[in-house]
Amino acid sequence: MSLVVVSNRVARGKVNEPMTGGLAAALLPVVEKSGAIWVGSSGRVRHGAQKEPFAEIEALGAGALAMLDLPAAHYGGYYEGFANSALWPALHSRADLIRASQQDYLSYREVNAFMARALLRFKKPDAVFWIQDYHFLALGAELRDLGVTQPIGFFLHTPWPARAIIEGVPHHRELVEAMLAYDLIGFQTEDDRESFLGYVSCDLGLEVENGVITSRHGTSRIAVFPIGIDPEKFATQAAKAASHPDVSRLRRSLNGEKLAIGVDRLDYSKGLINRIEAFDRMWTLQPALQRTVSLLQIATPSRGAIEAYGNLQNELAKLVSDVNGRLGEVDWTPIRYLNKGFSQTVLAGLYRTAQVGVVTPLHDGMNLVAKEYVAAQNPADPGVLVLSKFAGAANELDTALLVNPHDIDGMARTIAIALSMPLTERRMRWEAMMTKLRAGTIQQWFADFVEALQETRLDKAEDKAESPSPVAEAPTLVPLRSVNTGARYH
Ligand code: F6P
C-alpha cells in the first residue's frame, strides 16, 4: 500500500520550532514513521502558468513531504474566504460569523480541483488516499472525476454542527454530496457523526443504514475515530524540558505562586474571552486568591487577515490589560499574556509547571492541548485539568473538572476548586485520564483509520462482485505494516 496523506497545513520534522495547529503537530510523528507521502500547502502561492505544482518534495522519515504552491488567484478566496470565513464558523456553530461570496466558493472548489490534479502524480495502483479536514471537503469527488478508483478516506478534525447551522453555508448540499465520494468519513465524536447522518438523511433524503450512506457515488461508511497523542513521548519530553531555559525562568518568576496555563490559537472558538472573565470573577469574588495564582495565557495569532480574528485579538488585548490594570500589583501580574508560538518541547515543560490547565473552548473537535496537558504532568504531583464539556476530548477525559464555558461564575468556582484539590484526588483523576490516553494513542488512531478504509473497500468490492454491474479497477489491499489491533471504530 502507498499511503498518501493530504492536509492544508503540513509540518516539518523540527521539534524545536513553534508549531501552529493541532492537526499538523499531531500527524507529524505518525506520518514520519508510516512511510506515507504527506501532501499539503507550502504556505506560498504561485502566479501564472508554472507547469510543476510541487514547490518542494523532501524526505520525511520513511516517507516524503510534498508541498504545493497553491494558485495565487484563488488562495485568499479558498483559505481566508470559504474555508475559514464560511466553513470554520459554521463547523464551530457560529452561524453569525459566516461570510462567503460566490467567488470564495469558486476559489475553494478551484483549489480542491488543483490539489486533485497534483495528486495524480501519486496515483499508483496500490495507492490509498487519506484527506484531512474541512479545507478539502470536495477533493474526493474531484479525484473521482479524474478517474481515481483507489480508496479515498476523509477525516474531519473539527466538529460537525446541527443541521440548521450547516444549512447556513452557501452550497452546503453540493458540498456534502461531494463528500459522499469518500469511501470512509471519520469524525471525532459520536455527536458529530450523528449530526452528519441527520443532515444526510433529512436534507439530502439519502438512505442511511448502519452508518453507511448510499448516494450516486456508491456507498460511504461514516465512523468515529477520536484522535489521540503519544502520551509516553510527551511525558518524557515534559520531564526533560524542566531544565529548558524558558521553563526554568518561568518557575523562578513564580515566587511560590501557583500557575494556571492556557494554550490556544487565537480563535473565537477557543472561549478565550470567557476564560479571562472567569479568572477576573474568581479573583474578584475570592480576593484571598489574588497574588496566589496567575494565569499564563499563550494565544498564538492565527488567520489575522480575517476581520473576526482581528476583532478578537483587539478585544482580548483590551480585556487582559483591563484585568491586569485593575487587579495587578507592583510584584504581581494576574495574567501573563503572550501572542507567540512555542515548540512542543517548551510547551511540554510549561504544562508540567502549571498546577491547573484551562482548556475551555466554546466548541472544539477534540482539543489536543487537553491531552498534552495531562500527559505532561508529574505522576507524583499532577496538576488538574479544567475542561470544557464542549471539547471532543471531554468524552474521554471525563475525570477532568468539566465546565460549561458560557457559565462564567461556574468556571470561576471550578478553577478555585482545582487550585486547592488534595493530592489523592488529583492523582486519582489524573491516572484515570492517563489510562484513556494510553488506550487511544495517535498511532492507534492512524492505524485504525487506515485499516477501516481498507476494510470498507474490501466490503465494497465484495458487494460489487455479488451485483451484476461491471467491477471497477480494484487496488491491491495489503495489511498495514504498523502495529494494529482489532478495529475500534464505530
Ligand atoms: O481543527 C482544525 C485544524 O486543522 C486544527 O488542527 C488546527 O488547529 C487548525 O485547524 C489549523 O488552522 P490553520 O492551519 O488555519 O492555522
Mean pLDDT of 369-394: 98
Count of CB atoms situated within 10 Å of the CB of 1: 21
Take atom 4 of ligand 1 and give the residue whose Cα is closest: 23
Contacts of 254 (CB under 8 A, 6+ apart): 294, 353
**Ligand 1: centre distance to CA 355 (Å):** 27
Say if residue 460's pLDDT is above 50: yes
Contacts of 290 (CB under 8 A, 6+ apart): 283, 327, 332, 334
Say if residue 486's pLDDT is above 60: no
Say if residue 480's pLDDT is above 70: no
* pLDDT of res. 450: 97
Contact between 128 and 150 (Cβ < 8 Å): yes
**Ligand 1: centre distance to CA 186 (Å):** 17
Q: Which three cell numbers stand for residue 168?
A: 447556513
- Mapped onto helix, strand or coil, the DSSP state of residue 176 is helix
pLDDT tens for each residue of 226-253: 999 999 999 999 999 999 999 999 999 9
Cα-flanking dihedrals φ and ψ of residue 357, to 5°?
Answer: -105, 125
* pLDDT of res. 15: 55
| DSSP string computed for 258-271 | EEEEEEEES-GGG-
Q: Are strands 218-224 and 212-215 parallel, antiparallel or unpaired?
A: antiparallel
SS3 sequence, 122-172? HCCCCEEEEEECHHHCCHHHHHHHCCCCCCEEEECCCCCCCHHHHCCCCCH
* pLDDT of res. 129: 98
Pocket test for ligand 1, best of 108, 155, 265 (most atoms within 8 A of CB): 265
* Ligand 1 lining (C-beta closer than 6 Å): 8-9, 20-23, 133, 157-158, 265, 302-303, 365
Take atom 12 of ligand 1 and give the residue whose Cα is closest: 21
In the chain, % of residues over pLDDT 70 = 93
The beta strand positions in 48-103, using DSSP E, are 54-60, 63-71
Mean pLDDT of 414-434: 98
Q: Are strands 258-265 and 356-359 parallel, antiparallel or unpaired?
A: parallel
CA atoms of 272 and 252, how far apart (whole Å) = 26
Say if residue 461's pLDDT is above 90: no
Selected catalytic residue, list 135, 157, 172, 363: 157
Active site residue 47: no
Split at pLDDT 50, 70, 90, the class of 48 is confident
**Ligand 1: centre distance to CA 423 (Å):** 35
**Ligand 1: centre distance to CA 23 (Å):** 6
38-to-6, 60, 115, 344, 490 alpha-carbon distances in Å: 6, 8, 13, 20, 26
Split at pLDDT 50, 70, 90, the class of 472 is very low
- Mapped onto helix, strand or coil, the DSSP state of residue 54 is strand
Pocket test for ligand 1, best of 8, 10, 23 (most atoms within 8 A of CB): 23
pLDDT tens for each residue of 116-127: 999 999 999 999
- Mapped onto helix, strand or coil, the DSSP state of residue 329 is strand
Among the listed residues 10, 30, 29, the one whose alpha carbon sits nearest the alpha carbon of residue 20 = 10
Contact between 24 and 48 (Cβ < 8 Å): no
Q: Which three cell numbers stand for residue 219?
A: 456507498
pLDDT tens for each residue of 296-319: 999 999 999 999 999 999 999 999
* pLDDT of res. 428: 98
Take atom 15 of ligand 1 and give the residue whose Cα is closest: 303
Q: Which three cell numbers stand for residue 431?
A: 491516572
Pocket test for ligand 1, best of 88, 157, 187, 364 (most atoms within 8 A of CB): 157
Contact between 62 and 71 (Cβ < 8 Å): no
Average pLDDT in the chain:
93
Take atom 13 of ligand 1 and give the residue whose Cα is closest: 21
Q: Which three cell numbers stand for residue 395?
A: 468524552
pLDDT tens for each residue of 246-292: 999 999 999 899 999 999 999 999 999 999 999 999 999 999 999 99
**Ligand 1: centre distance to CA 160 (Å):** 15
* pLDDT of res. 475: 41
Split at pLDDT 50, 70, 90, the class of 410 is very high
**Ligand 1: centre distance to CA 484 (Å):** 27
pLDDT tens for each residue of 75-128: 999 999 999 999 999 999 999 999 999 999 999 999 999 999 999 999 999 999
Active site residue 244: no
Number of H helices, E strands in the chain: 17, 16
224-to-123, 186, 349, 439, 490 alpha-carbon distances in Å: 27, 5, 31, 15, 6
Selected catalytic residue, list 69, 104, 230, 364: 364
Residue type, 306: I
Query: The sheet that has 356-359: what strands, in order across it?
Result: 335-338, 293-300, 258-265, 356-359, 384-388, 401-403
Count of CB atoms situated within 10 Å of the CB of 413: 18
190-to-1, 152, 157, 187, 195 alpha-carbon distances in Å: 29, 21, 13, 8, 9
